[in-house]
């Protein structure tokens, strides 16, 4: 069976909109100088955003748009090879290659590239991030188009995976775990995420069922690498919303990478309903340095500073909302301002030792210090009016007048120190992994905030009932937590076509004082033609309590909270087949998660508010599917569909199972790229996203509820680009070609259809005690221009 029904379905669905193009297909086997096949060799077409990776047998397939081009074969620890291909017409070409070892790095490669490594993570095409049309410009925008990831906020870098919340995701950069801010309330306060796209060389993502070598969290893992670059190079990225500069310097025994980023999206925020003076400024600096003391011992340093401030002096707001039969308008005049700032500095030092060809040892030490501050003192006077639904929208009835106040003076200082030892040992058909990790966290939190709504003097008479508000919260907390965890894992090649992975993770902490044991199993079978992979996964995932989850609405700490636990299982199928003149890949996974000892929470924009003293149990189940390929040669496009249901039952609650805040039943995304037929250096990048409605708690209750919902999220972004030095261009400007290897200009249209997507609500009452939910909309249509420039290295030498 060659997935014929899938080919037929896809051709009927999309075949009419795609044009067939001639191409050269190059296939072959990459081996080392001992005639052993080499997996995970990167095969790329120079001058084009085209690459593939060899499979476990060293086999590769790659497609070229034109008939004359150069192929580069690269693998860490081996000298790269460049081969020129010249064909008179479109055809299939067989090209086998032999790579010779680089003595300085070969010991590391022998450990990390064994055939029988097994993982439930997918390799991301990191080059996609630069062409993708994204408002926030962060790497995480790429994740929001992946199966299992929910979408409802383009301003935020946070993401929800398979019914989990933002705090349930693991993020690693060079084996160092990265944390997210605590005090962020909404996406417009967010700046630059930790990951610098200009420095990364590879990224892996798992939406569930990840290995025991990763820490204990309930939802997902993102594993990013800043590894040795292919050559010395520099790049510049500038646009209306900010800029970035990166430099990579490569020498025989070392390399240095540095990146600077700046972001200011004031022009984007100024088009929202809240009018005023926006001043969002965010900066980030990162440095990576590695020195090879010998072919067996490496030292690596990672340093970072990430900071930003968000200042808003609001002036007025006008929002129209309602139904087809009733149109309402909120008009608000403001006084006061909001000032939030965030600073995080940290460093990590790691030492890697390869005493034998089959043994790898690594010791990692990291320290991060973070300071977050909120200063909010805003008063608003509002008027609600009913408008005529006929053109012109003239007022037909004046409603409530009143005011509301938001005040916050919060400071949070957190420090994290981590020391971890990791070992990898190859033995015949086994790869053994083991690790031991110690982590110390400290939090110092000073909270002072209140908010209230006064509609015609209701609150002035002391009637606080019926308002779901955090009123008069004042607390000062200190918390110190220590975690000790370890894991063992064996990846075993059972046969030529099947692999088995068994792992066990143990964790204990000074807060809950539980000994947490998490066994995990992964079984994979590859068909003889390597065009299908079947996977089965089962495992236990336990997330120990942390400061955010034990702080309740009043600011007090629930110190006896237990670890949240999830029993996960899934079955998956990956299928590859030729169709539409390209290689298509279908991935699918059906999953089920039963969870207990859950800490229920409510969402307000991107702020997670835990009901820290309560417990719940629940289940999540769903199906993730995606299909993709180079429908237009040289450019990858894909379609994904995710179906999911997430519910929970609170202990002692007689309402039965309720929807979770992340219960987004349907997610669909399409990323399509094309070229102009007669001018192939001109490209179009189209991104469509749909996420169904999400539950929202009732504002009149102080307990968890799912009585309301946020409407479905719908968004279309489109970008147009041209690389003036594209190999497919008919003529390259000589001046640009002399100084640059790439010079690409982008015109982007955010929210092409100008859809008002709701992220949260402002709840107000009128004098008759009728409550209104006024939607807080996300960004409207906006244009953006940017340039991405890669400087030519006159001293470039391939390793």
DSSP category for residue 702: S
420 token code pair: 């971890």
Is 709 a residue whose pLDDT tops 80? yes
Sign of the dihedral defined by the CA atoms of residues 166, 169, 173, 179, in that order:
positive
Buried b (16+ CB within 10 A) or exposed e, 645-682: ebbbbbeeeeeeebbbbbbbbebbbbbbbbbeeeebbb
Structure confidence by residue, pLDDT tens digits, 478-509: 999 999 999 999 999 898 889 999 999 999 99
Is 463 a residue whose pLDDT tops 90? no
Maximum separation of any 2 CA atoms in the chain, in Å: 87
pLDDT score at 21: 43
More confident residue, 279 or 79: 279
478, burial (CB in 10 Å: exposed 0-12, middle 13-18, buried 19+)? exposed
Closest-CA residue to 582 (of 69, 147, 7, 146): 7
Residue 499 · residue 211 · CB < 8 Å: no
Which band of pLDDT confidence, cut at 50, 70 and 90, is reported for residue 92?
Answer: confident
Sign of the dihedral defined by the CA atoms of residues 127, 130, 132, 135, in that order:
positive
CA dist 78 and 92 (Å) reads 27
* C-alpha radius of gyration, the chain, whole number: 27
Instruction: Report the pLDDT averaged over residues 229-248.
Output: 92
Structure confidence by residue, pLDDT tens digits, 374-418: 999 999 888 888 887 776 666 666 667 788 888 999 999 999 999
522 to each of 489, 506, 701, how far by Cα in Å?
11, 18, 43
pLDDT score at 700: 54
SS3 of 447-473: EEEEEEEEECCCHHHCCCCCCCCCCCE
CA dist 630 and 492 (Å) reads 33
Closest-CA residue to 71 (of 92, 45, 102, 35): 45
Sign of the dihedral defined by the CA atoms of residues 787, 635, 171, 104, in that order:
negative
The total of other beta-carbon atoms located within 10 Å of residue 768's CB is 9
324, burial (CB in 10 Å: exposed 0-12, middle 13-18, buried 19+)? exposed
CA dist 275 and 340 (Å) reads 18
155 to each of 136, 191, 710, how far by Cα in Å?
6, 9, 17
Strands 359-387 and 327-356 come out as antiparallel
Query: What residues contact 15, with CB distance under 8 A and at least 6 apart?
Result: 580
Please state the length of the chain. 799
**Alpha helices, H only, 140-260:** 140-143
pLDDT score at 77: 67
Instruction: Report the pLDDT averaged over residues 250-259.
Output: 93
Which band of pLDDT confidence, cut at 50, 70 and 90, is reported for residue 23?
Answer: low
CA dist 81 and 79 (Å) reads 7
Is 465 a residue whose pLDDT tops 60? no
Phi, psi of 539 (to 5 degrees): -175, 165
Structure confidence by residue, pLDDT tens digits, 728-756: 766 788 888 888 988 999 999 999 999 99
Sign of the dihedral defined by the CA atoms of residues 548, 622, 668, 665, in that order:
negative
Structure confidence by residue, pLDDT tens digits, 111-135: 333 333 456 788 888 877 888 888 8
Query: What residues contact 239, with CB distance under 8 A and at least 6 apart?
Result: 746, 784, 785, 786, 787
pLDDT score at 462: 46
Residue 555 · residue 474 · CB < 8 Å: yes
CA dist 404 and 705 (Å) reads 24
Residue 628 · residue 639 · CB < 8 Å: yes
Instruction: Report the pLDDT averaged over residues 549-563.
Output: 92
Structure confidence by residue, pLDDT tens digits, 135-189: 888 899 889 889 999 988 898 888 999 999 999 999 999 999 998 777 777 767 7
pLDDT score at 662: 93
pLDDT score at 91: 65
**Mean per-residue pLDDT of the chain:** 85
22 token code pair: 């001639």
pLDDT score at 584: 84
Residue 246 · residue 201 · CB < 8 Å: no
Is 769 a residue whose pLDDT tops 80? no
CA dist 791 and 781 (Å) reads 33
Q: Where are the beta strands (DSSP E) in 633-767?
A: 635-650, 658-659, 666-675, 682-691, 694-696, 708-710, 713-723, 740-750, 758-765
Structure confidence by residue, pLDDT tens digits, 4-20: 444 444 443 444 333 33
Look at residue 648 and give its three-state secondary structure: strand
Residue 139 · residue 127 · CB < 8 Å: no
Lowest mean pLDDT among 300-309, 329-338, 384-393, 776-785: 384-393
Residue 309 · residue 120 · CB < 8 Å: no
130 to each of 174, 231, 236, 694, how far by Cα in Å?
21, 19, 12, 30
pLDDT score at 48: 63
Question: Rounded to two decimals, what is the model's pTM?
Answer: 0.84
**Alpha helices, H only, 139-196:** 140-143
Lowest mean pLDDT among 143-157, 211-225, 522-536, 694-708: 694-708
199 token code pair: 């420095």
């Amino acid at each position: 069976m060659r997935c014929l029904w899938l080919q037929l379905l896809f051709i009927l669905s999309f075949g009419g909109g795609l044009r067939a193009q001639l191409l050269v297909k190059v296939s072959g086997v990459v081996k080392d100088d001992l005639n052993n096949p080499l997996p995970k060799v990167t095969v790329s077409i120079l001058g084009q955003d085209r690459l593939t990776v060899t499979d476990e047998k060293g086999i590769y397939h790659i497609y070229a748009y034109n008939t004359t081009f150069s192929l580069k074969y690269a693998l860490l620890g081996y000298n790269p090879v460049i081969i020129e291909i010249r064909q008179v017409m479109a055809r299939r070409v067989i090209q086998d290659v032999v790579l010779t070892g680089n003595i300085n790095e070969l010991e590391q490669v022998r450990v990390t590239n064994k055939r029988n490594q097994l993982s439930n993570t997918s390799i991301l095409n990191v080059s996609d991030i630069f062409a993708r049309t994204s408002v926030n410009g962060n790497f995480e925008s790429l994740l929001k188009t992946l199966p299992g990831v929910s979408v409802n906020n383009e301003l935020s870098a946070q993401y929800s995976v398979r019914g989990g919340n933002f705090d349930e995701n693991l993020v690693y950069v060079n084996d160092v775990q990265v944390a997210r801010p605590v005090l962020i309330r909404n996406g417009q306060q967010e700046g630059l995420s930790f990951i610098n796209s200009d420095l990364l060389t590879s990224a892996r993502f798992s939406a569930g069922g990840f290995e025991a070598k990763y820490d204990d969290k309930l939802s997902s893992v993102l594993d990013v690498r800043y590894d040795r670059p292919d050559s010395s190079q520099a790049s510049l990225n500038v646009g209306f919303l900010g800029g970035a500069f990166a430099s990579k310097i490569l020498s025989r025994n070392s390399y240095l990478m540095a990146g600077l980023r700046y972001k200011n999206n004031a022009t984007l925020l100024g088009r929202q309903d809240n009018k005023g003076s926006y001043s969002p400024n965010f900066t980030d600096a990162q440095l990576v340095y590695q020195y090879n003391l010998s072919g067996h011992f490496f030292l690596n340093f990672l340093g970072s500073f990430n900071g930003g401030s968000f200042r808003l002096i609001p002036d007025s707001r006008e929002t129209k909302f309602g139904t087809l039969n009733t149109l309402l308008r909120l008009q608000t005049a403001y006084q006061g301002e909001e000032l939030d700032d965030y600073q995080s500095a940290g460093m990590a030092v790691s030492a890697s030792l390869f005493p034998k060809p089959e043994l790898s040892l690594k010791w990692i030490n990291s320290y991060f210090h973070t300071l977050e501050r909120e200063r909010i003192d805003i008063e608003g006077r509002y008027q609600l009016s009913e408008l005529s639904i006929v053109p012109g929208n003239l007022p037909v009835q004046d409603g409530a007048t009143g005011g509301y106040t938001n005040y916050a003076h919060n400071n949070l200082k957190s420090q994290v120190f981590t020391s971890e030892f990791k070992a990898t040992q190859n033995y015949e058909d086994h790869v053994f992994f083991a690790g031991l990790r110690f982590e110390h966290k400290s939090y110092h939190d000073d909270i002072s905030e209140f908010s209230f709504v006064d509609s015609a003097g209701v609150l002035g008479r002391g009637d606080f009932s019926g308002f779901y508000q955090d009123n008069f919260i004042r607390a000062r907390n200190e918390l110190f937590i220590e975690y000790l965890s370890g894991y063992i894992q064996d990846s075993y090649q059972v046969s030529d076509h099947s692999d088995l992975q068994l792992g066990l993770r143990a964790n204990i902490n000074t807060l809950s004082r539980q000994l947490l044991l998490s066994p995990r199993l992964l079984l994979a079978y590859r068909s003889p033609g390597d065009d299908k992979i079947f996977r089965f996964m089962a495992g236990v995932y336990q997330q120990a309590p942390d400061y955010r989850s034990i702080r309740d609405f009043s600011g007090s700490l629930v110190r006896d909270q237990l670890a949240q636990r999830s029993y996960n299982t899934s079955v998956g199928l990956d299928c590859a087949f030729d169709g539409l003149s390209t290689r298509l890949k279908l991935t699918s996974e059906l999953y089920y998660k039963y969870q207990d000892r859950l800490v229920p929470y409510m969402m307000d924009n991107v702020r997670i508010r835990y009901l820290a003293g309560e417990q719940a149990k629940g289940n999540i189940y769903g199906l993730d599917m995606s299909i993709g390929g180079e429908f237009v040669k040289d450019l990858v496009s894909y379609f994904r569909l995710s179906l999911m249901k997430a519910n929970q039952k609170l202990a002692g609650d007689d309402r039965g199972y309720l929807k979770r805040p992340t219960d987004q039943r349907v997610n669909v995304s399409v990323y399509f790229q094309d070229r102009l037929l007669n001018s192939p250096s001109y490209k179009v990048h189209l991104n469509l996203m749909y996420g169904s409605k999400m539950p929202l708690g009732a504002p009149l209750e102080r307990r968890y509820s799912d009585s309301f919902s946020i409407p479905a999220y719908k968004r279309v972004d489109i970008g147009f680009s041209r690389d003036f030095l594209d190999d497919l261009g008919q003529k390259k400007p000589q001046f640009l070609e002399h100084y640059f290897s790439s010079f690409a200009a982008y015109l982007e249209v955010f929210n092409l259809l100008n859809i008002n997507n709701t992220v949260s609500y402002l709840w107000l009452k009128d004098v008759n005690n009728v409550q209104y939910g006024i939607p807080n909309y996300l960004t409207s249509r906006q244009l953006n221009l940017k340039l991405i420039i890669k400087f030519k290295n006159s001293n470039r030498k391939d390793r």
